[in-house]
Structure 1
């Protein structure tokens, strides 16, 4: 009888532990979203946002990999991430450590990272309410802090801290080249982003896109046709096209002007939108915390490298934006539906990064993975249903034509560039034993 009771007690403890593991996965999406909200507050530009997401998740990923042999460590295929020695002789709850590490890394590396201290306190309160012992939480937190410090130190060596010391970018002279656009006439953002050390690709020049259509003022030229298309599409937008353009706007700091007054509106970045989609998808797939962190970390790293590749081309070709050409040559009063971003046109960033990350998510979670995207609800836009990640990426890409901020070849060639990056990442993961999570 006593053996039976002990056996039942053991079974109950195992079941409780397993249930507790599943409970922890619900904290992943809020942790990543907390990082997003700080970046919105700080008006972090798109390339930099992808970098912050990557480092915030890389420590959590390594913690999981060290404790779950079914998860391939990032050190197996990311040369810049070295194995992290965790100095503890005690067994710790690695899942709590991984969750806390996301917030702790953000606290250390984000400009307003101290804002995440409130989120850390809330996480601990919730963990206590769920039955986790204070000693268990404290030990996990100490591990997370240790790992986050090492990740932050690693991040400090990737070239980011040197950007402010580099020569200020000056637009090239000539009608063919990018020039700051209204209403803010902001100087080019991150002109030296190509110097940032990538995660998954080898170099910033590994995936060069096709050359852009050559600039020409000739009304019979291919370039003029591309420009006229942007102009005519912008003047004849359907309500659906307007909505799609606004839905994928993802401009971290749009400026509205009224007379002499300018008002800034903060929004999520393109990478932030896709990180939220990643969270929606992993939650819908009911992935456990370990796999959820794996998917988030790989999505962030893919986004980061896609921006590095895209920005390498942007400041090499330094192509002029449609708004500038149309105002000079076709219609002085024409304005695009979306505010033109403050950097060169070619290739389309959203086309590159959306296509690349959609290839990764398709590999990990499957094609025809339907989901409801609620990312833009906080910006007073409705939810949107997609049949697959690739469908969402296609819409994100064409939205730039509807918005009047990209020529068609920057979109199409940007998609090809992103697809090449995504396929390269997937092959690298396959070779290193990273399998689909579904």
Structure 2
């Protein structure tokens, strides 16, 4: 029987909403950033965008909005002050005061997504609905027209910047072929998908100096000897999977964020589309900026800085993944411990070391802690659409630590990939914070 692949997209609720210095009045519905970002995320879920590419999209989707705010608010530091490669003239032909820059910023997010995403045409309906919403809120046709024109003009500038990051050269590079040798990564069940983005290190970063700037400590030396440290790490993964606590299962499920999840039923393969890890952290930013009652301008700022952080964290992480090319626990345990063992979470299709969740979560937590404080408490309900309840956190660092260890509980990472990934992520985040401080990007806490 021919195998059928069915995808069921869950209803998504991503980024919550606004941010900046305390707002004096509720943000109008037509300036809610979460709706635009949710629309973008829905298309990415539809397209099954892989995690590194999703981070790149989130980064660029927010740059135009950031530029529009910076043109109209002198307190928002221009991108060129902290991104060395950003040398574009952000001025547009429409003078400040002739358009509503906040409306333009929201529309720019949608327009950038429409232009960049494979199925971006789907966002035309969202743009049309947004225009209708503006009219229902008695925004004049003249303001709508000028604001849309400003957004389209800024989108064109951002798209010009994207074309210089070498992403368009990835398709011309040699496809990845698994390397021979027991220690190397090999495609895993149930789909045995080919490696995701093996050349991602060649994409231009935003703020870190290069993909190689933060090479983590070397992974534990591979060995099949039952007395070796590597075997012990593998057995630790195997052992905890036998009798995980309810809390460990909840943590693994909450941070799954696997766009490639597939389950089998007889001859049928059923795929479940989910939010990406970067999408989860963008959602967290929406939640906390809303709780902080930040203004629209500051909300755009924090969301844009999170997008930048995600992009650089993935570039740094992927550089190491294909250098060490580490075997996954599932492959090792099946070969040397238990040939019938399966991890709680489905193994993602790329090398093991270091943990992507560890790197991007710690980078994000470091930057967000600088902007909003070390002890910002919040409730994260990002995974409710995927059948997982909310979780409470006392800080971004606590959330990052939980996101990291979730991959151990899920059976898809060894301990050293998590611990060394945590440090790599903090190093990325601290470098970004150092450059933000130098550019006088102020804390919002």
Separation (CA, whole Å) in 2 of partners of 1:339 and 1:175: 21
Separation (CA, whole Å) in 2 of partners of 1:229 and 1:268: 29
SS for the counterpart of 1:404 is coil
Separation (CA, whole Å) in 2 of partners of 1:419 and 1:334: 33
TM-score (norm 1): 0.94
Q: Could you tell me which of 389, 401, 421 is aligned with 1:414?
A: 421
Greater helix share, structure number: 1
Separation (CA, whole Å) in 2 of partners of 1:26 and 1:253: 33
Q: Which residue of 2 aligns with 1:220?
A: 227
Q: Which residue of 1 aligns with 2:17?
A: none
Q: 1:94 to 1:47 in 2, by over 3 A?
A: same
Q: Could you tell me which of 37, 42, 45 is aligned with 1:40?
A: 45
1:88 is displaced (CA, Å) by: 2.0
Separation (CA, whole Å) in 1 of partners of 2:281 and 2:95: 38
* Alignment of 1:208 onto 2:212: no
1:19 is displaced (CA, Å) by: 7.0
C-alpha RMSD of the superposition: 1.3
TM-score (norm 2): 0.93
Per-residue CA deviations over 1:175-228 (Å, capped at 9, x if unaligned) read 000000000000100000000000010100000000000001111111011010
Aligned pairs for 1:330-409 (under 5 A) are: 330-409=337-416
Q: Which residue of 2 aligns with 1:54?
A: 59
* Alignment of 1:277 onto 2:290: no
Q: Which residue of 1 aligns with 2:308?
A: 301
Higher-Rg member (1/2): 1
Deviation larger for 156-165 or 139-148: 156-165
Structure 1 unaligned blocks of 5 or more: 1-17
Deviation larger for 283-292 or 150-159: 150-159
1:24 is displaced (CA, Å) by: 6.1
Per-residue CA deviations over 1:107-159 (Å, capped at 9, x if unaligned) read 10011111111111222222222232121011010010011012112112211
Q: Which residue of 1 aligns with 2:12?
A: none
Q: Could you tell me which of 68, 93, 97 is aligned with 1:87?
A: 93
SS for the counterpart of 2:115 is helix
1:92 is displaced (CA, Å) by: 1.5
Deviation larger for 87-96 or 364-373: 87-96
1:78 is displaced (CA, Å) by: 0.9
Deviation larger for 269-278 or 156-165: 156-165
SS for the counterpart of 2:352 is coil
User: What is the aligned residue count?
Assistant: 421
Aligned pairs for 1:120-269 (under 5 A) are: 120-269=127-276
* Alignment of 1:68 onto 2:84: no
1:87 is displaced (CA, Å) by: 1.3
Q: 1:21 to 1:381 in 2, by over 3 A?
A: closer
Q: Which residue of 2 aligns with 1:3?
A: none
Contact map agreement 1:106 1:113 (CA 8 A) in 2? yes
Separation (CA, whole Å) in 1 of partners of 2:247 and 2:172: 44
Q: 1:369 to 1:420 in 2, by over 3 A?
A: same
Per-residue CA deviations over 1:45-82 (Å, capped at 9, x if unaligned) read 00000000000000110111111000101111112222
Separation (CA, whole Å) in 2 of partners of 1:20 and 1:376: 29
SS for the counterpart of 1:357 is helix
Contact map agreement 1:24 1:95 (CA 8 A) in 2? no
Q: Which residue of 1 aligns with 2:16?
A: none
Deviation larger for 154-163 or 241-250: 154-163
Contact map agreement 1:25 1:288 (CA 8 A) in 2? no
Q: Which residue of 2 aligns with 1:9?
A: none
1:89 is displaced (CA, Å) by: 4.2
SS for the counterpart of 1:87 is coil
Per-residue CA deviations over 1:235-273 (Å, capped at 9, x if unaligned) read 121111111101100001201012221111100000000
Structure 2 unaligned blocks of 5 or more: 1-22
Q: Could you tell me which of 285, 295, 301 is aligned with 1:288?
A: 295
Regions of 4+ moved over 3 Å: 18-22
1:23 is displaced (CA, Å) by: 2.2
1:26 is displaced (CA, Å) by: 4.8
Separation (CA, whole Å) in 2 of partners of 1:391 and 1:152: 36
